[in-house]
Amino acid sequence: MSGDVIIEVQGGVGRLRLNRSKALHALNLSMCRAMLDALAAWINDPAVGLVMIDHAEGRGFCAGGDIRMLAESGAADGKEAAAFFHTEYQLNHLLFTYPKPVIAFMDGITMGGGVGISLPCRYRVATERTRLAMPESGIGLFPDVGGGWYLSRLPGRIGAWLALTGASLNGADCVALKVATHYILSGKVEEAKAALLSSGREPQDSLAAWTVEAAPPAIQAQQADINRLFASDRYEDILAALRSDGGEWATAQLAALAKKSNLTCKIALRQLIEAARHSDFADEMRMEYRIATRICRSADFIEGVRALLIDKDLDPKWTPAEPEGVTGSMVEEYFAPMPPGEEWQPLRIKR
């Protein structure tokens, strides 16, 4: 068991508590392995009827993954990064296909890896403190951990907007978009958890007792502009539409996109096209693993981590510097099949 995740069974509930508060509970390899092992053991354990994923102290549910390690590995041979992605994606896939109900409490920052362990769950609780985002384009990554699957299935062009800009959704937005299944005030979350831990049963009734109506979602006011201005699957067309509009909101989106990697923005748009065609979540994870193991070794990712986490100058120098410099063949390289024996595979468990 990793000290960064607390694993226990309480009252018929298998509980996974993220416990890395100084890093906003960002996932590392040992955490992913520990959760994967626990979930695998609980599948055939009659003492466990429900799984709960939450976090211990701190303001974030889960802020992502071990980005610094990925960049260091990518700058070397990439093997440690590949091992992390392979295990993390097995965790994502197991949660997506898990036969027992799983509930995630997305109380606070829910980004990157946090999205990957919450959105596959049958029950997803948001609060007024929820801030859900896939901000990977700002460091030269892409919306992985199943992000392509979820974003491509949001209404209109909201998924493309989120993938490109890294914009966040609040709890009310998450409920309106069905990203969350329930909305509970943060001050009542611990009481709701206690009720679930005392019952150990299907949580629908217990959750209903604590659920309240969310405020009007902010996303409603933006959706028409998102659908209109992010309508194209061609990145240059989106930028042109934003420039042509010239309004305050469009100008803000242009400013956000100016800070993103042109390469990863184009990869993300292609990812969403492919993801929408997938009918099996394993196919999504296989595609994302191909991208991830390559992109972690790219110049843009290493530069993005330098600018954000190492030098902290917030001024990455992307390659190519202009969207037009990213060709279709450059993007295609990231989606190509892996060599024999290196493709991602889901965890096989006897049931």
* Residue 121 burial (CB count, 10 A): 21
Cis preceding-peptide flag for 316 (omega within 30 of 0): no
Return the DSSP state at 214.
P
Tell me the DSSP string of 51-76: EEEEE-SSSEEE--B-HHHHHHHHHT
Could you tell me the CA-to-CA distances from 244 to 106, 228, 238, 260, 272 in Å, in that order? 37, 12, 10, 20, 25
Helices (H), the chain: 29-43, 67-75, 79-97, 113-118, 147-152, 158-165, 171-176, 189-199, 204-210, 219-229, 235-245, 248-257, 262-277, 281-295, 299-305, 328-333
Q: How far apart are CA 172 and CA 126, in angstroms?
A: 8
Label the pairing between strands 131-133 and 123-126.
Answer: unpaired
3-state class (DSSP) for residue 321? coil
Q: How far apart are CA 294 and CA 74, in angstroms?
A: 8
Return the DSSP state at 252.
H
Catalytic positions, written as ranges: 65, 113, 136, 144
